[in-house]
Each structure stands twice: as C-alpha cells, then as structure tokens.
Amino acid sequence: MSKKVLFIVGSLREGSFNHQMALEAEKALAGKAEVSYLDYSAIPLFNQELEVPTLPAVAAAREAVLAADAIWIFSPVYNFSIPGTVKNLLDWLSRAIDLSDTRGASALQDKIVTVSSVANAGHEQLFAIYKDLLPFIRTQVVGEFTAARVNDSAWADGKLVLEDSVATSLKQQAEDLVQAIQ
C-alpha cells in the first residue's frame, strides 16, 4: 500500500509562492508517497446552521482527509497569523463527523500533520499558532516546520527560488513525515 500525503496550500492564488513550495515538497516525496492537493475553494465560512445536511464541498474535503495518511500544510502568513481560508477549513474539518457525539472523531482525528511557509515575515508567530492549534484539534504534529523567504526577483517574475538550506529542510521534513506514517 502506498503512503498518501494530502497537501493543503493556504493561498488560493494560482501560482502562489506557497504552491510553488508545495511542488518542491512533492519532488522530495517522489517515490516515497503519493501526493494529492485539496481543493477547498468552495467551502463556505463555517456556520453551524450549514452542518446538516453535510455540504458536498465539506464532504469532499473530509473524504480527502480521511483517505490521506498525513497532511502537509503550506501556509502564507497573513497579518502574522494563519490565513482565514485555512483556519476556516480546519474549523470545518475539526468538527465531529457524527454531530450527535460532539466529542466524537473528526476527519482530522489523529492525522499526522506538518507545516511549511513562504513569507517575508511572521514565521515564528505563524508556527506558534499552528503548534497550539493542531494538537488542540487532535492531530499529531511531526517534524520541524520549514520557513522560506520570497526571493527578491520573485516579486517581478513570480518564480520562487528556494535557498539550499530551505530545500534541505523540506527534504528532511518530507522524510520525517514519511517516517511518521505507520
């Protein structure tokens, strides 16, 4: 059985720097795990009134998470915090699948998760928030998180170039993630 890693890219912008970093991480997982990307763009803002019946976009996201052995989040820093889109997704996914048991298992229950980020400032704050949030929503955080700055030329040409130390860190993070999958 092949190991499955689900990528959640925190920027919905096509060609975003965090998506480009995810593509590099995908290369680091080549031959070690099957990678898929979660499209969560159709998930509405969380509202308890929308939980029943389960919305198709929420059901699809849950199914993708449940089918994955691990999750790798690629998160920009928005105002020294998690992007609202990612927080909203995690709010939906952390809800009990069976709403009659509010302490019951969610799609994220015991999922192995790691985080990487491309931004020019705020990694410390961002990573601290994820390190608090992810265990609270009952995931298992693994590996050291990888931070990268946007290279100056990327602002003009849109092409992220990772420093060698960041590429090495991503490779180690990929290895740690694969090792954590049973």
Best CA proximity match to 157, nearest among 17, 36, 45: 17
Best CA proximity match to 56, nearest among 70, 71, 39, 72: 39
- Read off the pLDDT of residues 103-155 as tens digits, 9 standing for 90 and up: 789 999 999 999 999 999 999 999 999 999 999 999 999 999 999 999 999 99
Q: What 3-state DSSP class applies to 30?
A: coil
Determine the Cα–Cα distance for residues 110 and 103; give it in Å rounded to an integer.
14
What pLDDT sits at residue 182? 76
Give the CATH number of domain 4-180; options: 3.60.150.10, 3.40.50.360, 3.40.50.1970, 3.30.2130.30: 3.40.50.360
DSSP letter at 106 equals: B
Determine the Cα–Cα distance for residues 46 and 37; give it in Å rounded to an integer.
21
What pLDDT sits at residue 99? 83
* Domain boundaries defined on the chain: 4-180
* Residue burial 29-58, b: 16+ Cβ < 10 Å; e: rest: beebbebeebebeebeebeeeeeeeeeeeb
Enumerate residue ranges in the chain where pLDDT < 70.
Answer: 1
What pLDDT sits at residue 9? 98
Determine the Cα–Cα distance for residues 69 and 110; give it in Å rounded to an integer.
10
What pLDDT sits at residue 178? 96
Determine the Cα–Cα distance for residues 21 and 117; give it in Å rounded to an integer.
8
